[in-house]
Amino acid sequence: MSDKYDVIVIGAGPGGYVAAIKAAQLGLKAACVESWTSEDNKQVLGGTCLNVGCIPSKALLEISHKFEEANHGYEMQGIIAKDVKIDIAKMMERKSGIVKQLTGGIAGLFKANGVTSIHGHGKLLANRKVEVTDKDGQTKTYEADNVIIATGSKPIEIPPAPFDGEYIVDSEGALEFTEVPKRLGVIGAGVIGLELGSVWARLGSEVTVIEAQDTFLPTVDQQIAKDSFKQFQKQGLNIVMGARMTGAEIKRKLVNVSYEDSKGKQEAKFDKLIVAVGRRPYTDNALAEDSGVQMDERGFIFVDDNCKTEAPGVWAIGDVVRGPMLAHKASEEGVMVAERIAGHKPQVNYDCIPNVIYTAPEVAWVGKTEEQLKAEGEEYNVGTFPFAANGRAMAANSASGLVKIIADAKTDRILGFHVVGPQASEIVAQGVIAMEFGSSAEDLALTCFAHPTLSESVHEAALAVAGGAIHIANRRKKK
Ligand code: FAD
Ligand code: AMP
């Protein structure tokens, strides 16, 4: 087989592997280069998401949630579960099993769709040539009409707290603890810090989250963020806001953390410290100087709305380009680019990308927040409905949080859809579909929802936008 391809993708995360499969489905000769190598020297597909991100973190969140429920939520429901214990080794074994099954599945999908999988480190040279260095240091150069860079991101390491892999760890290390740390520190109250902090708190750690900013979850609608903050505090997560970590020292098997808050210099001691202060785009040794690809000042590959770089025939997608660092955003871009290479003209609707924080309660949203709309001077109406008034949520012992729908005051078109509460990650899909179809709040209000379901809260929030909720007193709020 010739080494010339229609499309070569560098990186087999949810951006890259999806792009390669879609390209092959569209009749293009596609290859995907991935450097990740397992301990037994095999290629590992699936990227951050499947190996050290979305999937393993959700496996641990699910297991730890069950453990916590068994310990604290069963008795009041009449279930007697005495001496519930957690077997960390078994939990990790299950997590690894799920990861293995899914990553192995991608190899199968490549095969089924005719994608060539190339094991090695890819580097884009000039004129869409890709040099691949294999694990033995051998290089081979491939040519393509189109190259898609999907090299993803890596955790940010900050000078006051360098990772040592044992006491001070990144998100990957936090998925691998072999025992429950007694005192766990987390730097950064972002999505990853909150999710991983929740896992270990549920398993018994005393968790302190140190966050530099004064506003909790500043990109989340603040009514939702405040509600979730209260619930996390109630669960025992100690979240210290307005506190900037300035140093971390390992002394006598403890991490001594110094930070500054409004009261001055503070110190805290932890058995483990997770540093979750964000991720940086990853392009190390992936772009030759004459590749023609430009980067912005923060190291993201510069692309237009359709993920085209400055170099002809070279595209970039996922965490390595602007926009939210989310697996589904990467995959959407992967599909769009493959379609564009095949001559179609789809676009990603960046206004309809859902965000989820998989804590308990979950936080999920799509579209604009009230704060954004206020800043833009838009007129809008708001409808909210609390899960405390939802029968199914009560039956499930998870009657906290709310659904909030924001609609344009003139057209009633839904501009924002926000949920904090049970299964928010699933419920938000209704908002995404509604917004993708340009629905009004009235469209949702006129839709029949099964009873009893959590989704009835969506119906009620939509009714509440026009002051017509049935199961709660209406407080019509016109802005
Ligand atoms: P990646 O998944 O990072 O994949 C890039 C791949 O490229 C890697 O396999 C890498 O080895 C390979 N590579 C890099 N350079 C080269 C090279 N030069 N040659 C060959 N191969 C190369 N997102 C969600 O949407 N939902 C979640 O619940 C969620 N949870 C997360 C939890 C954690 C703990 C973390 C860390 C992340 C989470 N994310 C989540 C984010 C999500 O994992 C990323 O947004 C997603 O993986 C980005 O996909 P990508 O394809 O752009 O890059
Ligand atoms: P995210 O980018 O969503 O993963 O969130 C990372 C969080 O870490 C942000 O809210 C930052 O404000 C926070 N952060 C970054 N550096 C520090 C620091 N030195 N001390 C405390 N919090 C920090």
Shared fold status for 4-155+280-351 and 361-465: no
Residue in the block written with tokens 């802005």? 479
Residue in the block written with tokens 């965490």? 319
Cβ neighbours of 264 (radius 10 Å): 6
Q: Which CATH architecture has domain 361-465?
A: 2-Layer Sandwich (3.30)
Q: What class, spelled out in words, does domain 4-155+280-351 have in CATH?
A: alpha beta
Task: Using the mean position of ligand 2's atoms as its centre, give its distance from the Cα of residue 276 in Å.
Answer: 7
Question: Quick one: tokens of 2?
Answer: 């010739």
Task: Using the mean position of ligand 1's atoms as its centre, give its distance from the Cα of residue 57 in Å.
Answer: 13
Task: Using the mean position of ligand 1's atoms as its centre, give its distance from the Cα of residue 301 in Å.
Answer: 15
Alpha-carbon distances, residue 136 vs 37, 151, 456 (angstroms):
12, 21, 58
Task: Using the mean position of ligand 1's atoms as its centre, give its distance from the Cα of residue 175 in Å.
Answer: 15
Rg of the chain on CA atoms, in Å: 24
Where is 244: in which H helix or E strand? strand 244-251
Residue in the block written with tokens 């729908």? 405
Q: Is 177 helix (H, G, I), strand (E, B) or coil?
A: coil
Site to probe by mutation for ligand 1, drawn from 54, 57, 170 as the one with most ligand atoms within 8 Å of Cβ, is 54
pLDDT at 1: 47
From CA 173, how far away is CA 135, in angstroms rounded? 24
323 CB near ligand 1 (under 6 Å): no
Cβ neighbours of 137 (radius 10 Å): 8
From CA 292, how far away is CA 141, in angstroms rounded? 18
Q: Is 163 helix (H, G, I), strand (E, B) or coil?
A: coil
The DSSP string of 341-386 is: HTT------GGG--EEE-SSSEEEEEE--HHHHHHHT--EEEEEEE
pLDDT at 336: 98
pLDDT at 476: 54
Catalytic residue among 65, 451, 459, 471: 451
Please say whether the beta carbons of 169 and 163 come within 8 A. yes
99 CB near ligand 2 (under 6 Å): no
Residue in the block written with tokens 């089924």? 112
208: Cα within 13 Å, side-chain hemisphere: 19
Domain residue ranges of the chain, discontinuous segments joined by +: 4-155+280-351, 168-277, 361-465
Q: Single out the residue of 434, 438, 436, 435 nearest to residue 447, CA to CA.
A: 434
Q: Single out the residue of 198, 291, 282, 279 nearest to residue 239, CA to CA.
A: 198
Overall fold of domain 168-277 = FAD/NAD(P)-binding domain (3.50.50)
Site to probe by mutation for ligand 1, drawn from 9, 43, 49 as the one with most ligand atoms within 8 Å of Cβ, is 49
Question: Quick one: tokens of 285?
Answer: 């040794």
213 CB near ligand 2 (under 6 Å): yes
pLDDT at 479: 53
- Report how far Cα 33 is from the mean position of its chain's Cα atoms: 24
Known catalytic residue at 451: yes
- Report how far Cα 171 is from the mean position of its chain's Cα atoms: 12
274 CB near ligand 1 (under 6 Å): no
Please say whether the beta carbons of 50 and 36 come within 8 A. no
Give the nearest ligand 1 atom to 44 CA: 9
239 CB near ligand 2 (under 6 Å): no
278 CB near ligand 2 (under 6 Å): yes
From CA 378, how far away is CA 231, in angstroms rounded? 30
190 CB near ligand 2 (under 6 Å): yes
Number of H helices, E strands in the chain: 13, 23
Through-space distance between the first and last CA atoms of the chain, rounded to whole angstroms: 64
Nearest residue (by CA) to ligand 1, atom 9, is 47
Give the nearest ligand 1 atom to 196 CA: 34
Mean pLDDT by 10 residues, the chain (479 residues): 88 98 98 96 97 98 96 92 96 98 97 98 98 96 98 97 97 98 98 98 98 98 98 94 97 97 96 98 98 97 98 98 98 98 98 97 98 98 98 96 98 98 98 98 98 98 97 73
Burial class (CB in 10 A: 0-12, 13-18, 19+), 261: middle
From CA 360, how far away is CA 67, in angstroms rounded? 13
Nearest residue (by CA) to ligand 1, atom 35, is 53
Task: Using the mean position of ligand 1's atoms as its centre, give its distance from the Cα of residue 302 in Å.
Answer: 18
From CA 128, how far away is CA 238, in angstroms rounded? 51
